[in-house]
Structure 1
Amino acid sequence: MKNKKFLFAASLLLVLSMFLAACGSDKKVSGTDEKDGKEEKPKFISILTGGTGGTYFPLGGSFATIISDETGIETNAETTGASAENMQTLKDGDAEIAFSQTDIASYASEGKIMFEGNVVDNVKAIGTLYPETIQIVTTKGSGIKSVNDLKGKKVSVGAPGSGTNANAQQILEVYGMSFDDIEKQDLSFDESVAGIQDGTIDAAFVTAGTPTGAVEGLAATEEVVIVPVDQDKAEELIKKYPYYTIDEVPSGVYKLTEAVPTVAVQAMLVVREDLSEEVVYDITKAIFENLDKVTHAKGKLIKAEKALNGVGIEVHPGAQKYYDEKNIKAE
């Protein structure tokens, strides 16, 4: 009889311990604690950036310091392969915040282009930061002055599946053209510039912040021409693909004598949607109210008033709360 009572008691304790262990294992965010049934802010978060030689990484370092100082959440910036990789990493739940181009974030949320059949549905926007300008680069000697002049020419459109490739395809589309109308070349920025320089290609699409180093190198030896995107075509493009915005390549850049109208996608910050509204509000407020602490030159272009322009995906409720308080709306 005593053995039966002992076995029953032992079984009861085992069931109870398993129940308590299951209850204690439910954590939504890395490093998050729960107290009195209420989820507390995470102890640490990661910001996914890009390569060490790009813009995302140093900006991410500044943002990490600001978030740590202003919210008390220990934050670090991680070097990555940039936009597409960042969106996938957030989908996998292995980080909390990331940099991405607006068009790449949109493709991820819709399962298109490089995310075909792989929808990223757990990521929301914090806000846009600064333009990544679409530059159609050629030289005066090419005779190319308009997008229509690209017909029949050897034109680099970036690597297959890249953001630049999609930008080129969409801009040609609003001009009634496709890749079939050009001699398409799939080259990197440096390869494109080298090709223009040695005459093996006529023009190249380059999506990057201006001035772009590779194009500056070309301007040192050639008279660079940036092909304009006409206003009516830009408006048509933005209507169909809302992650684009109006932009220009300024006078003086690449020795241009006047500004050239074009379009841009935006560099943006995105966040996993399971971060709480309160935490994302605090992060958004910390960044936009401490931009004077950002030392990178691009920091001067970042403004809360422009953060909803060209977002292209749904804004996280925490970020939206901050914009509502400041009466900020998309232009």
Structure 2
Amino acid sequence: MFKNILAGLIVLALASSTALAADAHYKIVTGPERGTYIQIGADLAKWVADPAGIELEVMPSKGSAENVQRMRFEPGVKLALVQSDVYQAYVDMANSGNADAGTTIRPLRLIMPLYDEEIYFVVRADSPLKSINDIKNQNMSVGLIGSGTAQSATTLYRLMFGQPIPEQNAQHLSNEDALAALIVGKIDVAIVVAGQPAKLFTDMNPELLQKIRLLKLDPAAPETARAKQAYYPATIRTSSYPNWIKDDVQTLTVKAFLVTYDYNLRDTVGKLDRFADSLCTNFDNLQEHGHPKWKQVKLELPDLGKGWKYYPPMEKRLRACIAHKSAGATATPAAATPEETVQKASKPPCSEQERLLLLCGK
């Protein structure tokens, strides 16, 4: 009798455990299938979500602007990877009075900053172009509409040259299609945003790799000084691509962030709390076993710019864990801001910025 009761209790416990795991099925939107974001998402699923009892489905996407939209409006998407310049562009448009941008970005919250993503300016091996400031008026691929690459490329160009990319010079191609078009001479420059080492290049046919090269950053160029208003110098290392580049190449970089929504349902908050605890507890595993970019991530929550907010429940958990690890003082979590109700109004035709942020037609 006792054995039967014990066996029944064990089965019940196992069933409850399985139900808990099955009940916590979330999605994270990342980036192209051969990019860095999707590998970072897979690392989070394996080393953070799984130990927390959360089944995290890693979803490919065009990139950051699409991720913001899907994080905000697609059921089941609880996490997203977003470039800092894309997030800031939404904040700026919301602050300038764009109702759709405000509706989209104001309920989103940051979990933590991750790493810097390098910006690659790729040309053919026989191209006369030498440095990044030579790309003015060239026919180039700036990334798919909705991608972080498109935001970075267009913002950088406007900063460097004081004008938008001429419409006839901007091609919106995927990374793979851009490199193919570059090699056969259909475009002059392919702009790619990816954390090194990027599978896009490490998996590329060695013979094709020899047909392309990287433009370097010219520290003395006035265009570089203007670009540094929003972006930071970085180095693409030979150790990342030993079969491709012979010398380190100076370029620019943009920050990646892990993003969520300002959830208040107790069940969701509890699961995201578990995710935050697991992120802190398993951070060493991410750095040891995950993509090499994890080695650049610091377990910290720095001050944010105006219009940027951490997600309070996860912020509280992370700060407590960080303090426990470092024996430092904890910071008081920022108060949650009530979600604003924004009334849609008729508006003029789409601007270039609205098109890149997928705000047209809303």
Q: Larger C-alpha radius of gyration, 1 or 2?
A: 1
* Offset at residue 270 of structure 1 (A): 0.9
Partner of 2:310: 315
**Contact 2:217/2:224 (8 A) holds in 1:** no
Correspondences of 1:18-97 after superposition (within 5 Å): 44=24, 46-50=26-30, 54-68=35-49, 71=52, 73-81=53-61, 82-92=63-73, 94-97=76-79
**Structure 1 residue 189, shift from structure 2 partner:** 1.6
Q: In 2 relative to 1, CA 74–159 (structure 1 residues): closer, same or farther, beyond 3 Å?
A: closer
Identify which of 125, 147, 151 aligns with 1:166. Answer: 151
How far apart are the structure 1 equivalents of 2:329 and 2:169? 44
Partner Cα separation in structure 2 for residue 169 and residue 227 of structure 1: 18
Asked if the contact 1:136/1:228 (under 8 Å) is kept, the reply is: no
Separation (CA, whole Å) in 1 of partners of 2:124 and 2:303: 32
Which residue matches 2:176?
190
Contact 1:138-1:224 within 8 A present in 2 as well: yes
Equivalents in 2 of 1:98, 1:91: separation in Å?
A: 10
TM-score (norm 1): 0.68
Per the alignment, residue 7 of structure 1 pairs with none
| 3-state SS, counterpart of residue 104 of structure 2 | coil
Q: 2:11 — aligned with what?
A: none
- Indicate whether 1:204 and 2:190 are aligned: yes
By how many angstroms is 1:76 displaced? 2.3
Are the equivalent residues in 2 in contact too, given 1:91–1:121 (CA < 8 A)?
Answer: no
For residue 270 of structure 1, what is the amino acid of its counterpart? V
Q: Whole-Å Cα distance in 1 between the matches of residues 304 and 59 of structure 2? A: 25
Matched residues in 2 for 1:264 and 1:147: separation? 13
Distance 1:207 1:258 in 2: 20
Would you say how many aligned residue pairs link Structure 1 and Structure 2?
283
Q: Which runs of 5+ in 1 are unaligned?
A: 1-42
Give the 3-state SS of the residue equivalent to 1:191 in structure 2.
helix
Closer/same/farther in 2, CA of residues 213 and 102 from structure 1, 3 Å limit:
same
The residue that corresponds to 1:220 in the other structure is 209
Change (3 A) 1:183 1:74: closer
2:157 paired with 1:137? no
Partner of 1:13: none
User: Are residue 151 (structure 1) and residue 136 (structure 2) matched?
Assistant: yes
Partner of 1:297: 291
One-letter amino acid of the counterpart of residue 72, structure 2: K
**Cα RMSD over matched residues?**
3.9
Q: For the structure 1 residues 177 and 140, does the alpha-carbon distance in structure 2 shift closer, same or farther, using more than 3 Å as the test?
A: farther
Deviations 1:48-99 (A, max 9, x none): 133665544454344234445654x534224242533432333236433222
Q: Quick one: which of 109, 114, 130 aligns to 1:124?
A: 109
> Paired residue for 2:83?
101
CA distance in 2, matches of 1:246, 1:147: 12
After TM superposition, the score normalised by the length of structure 2 is 0.63
Q: Give the whole-Å Cα distance in 1 for the aligned partners of 2:173 and 2:236.
A: 22
Give 1:198 deviation, angstroms: 1.6
Contact persistence 1:249–1:260 (CA under 8 A): yes
Match of 1:32 in 2: none
Structure 1 residues 78 and 162, CA, compared in 2 at 3 Å: closer, same or farther? Answer: closer
Give 1:156's aligned amino acid: S
Greater alpha carbon shift after TM alignment, 158-167 vs 216-225: 216-225
* Structure 2: distance between partners of 1:290 and 1:311: 28
- Tell me, in whole angstroms, the C-alpha distance in 2 between the residues paired with 1:145 and 1:181: 23
Tell me the SS of whatever aligns to 2:68.
helix
1:247 is aligned, of 234, 250, 269, to: 234
Work out the CA distance in 1 between the residues paired with 2:277 and 2:232.
24
Query: Does the Cα contact within 8 Å between 1:102 and 1:311 map onto a contact in 2?
Result: no
Which amino acid in the other structure matches residue 176 of structure 2?
A: D
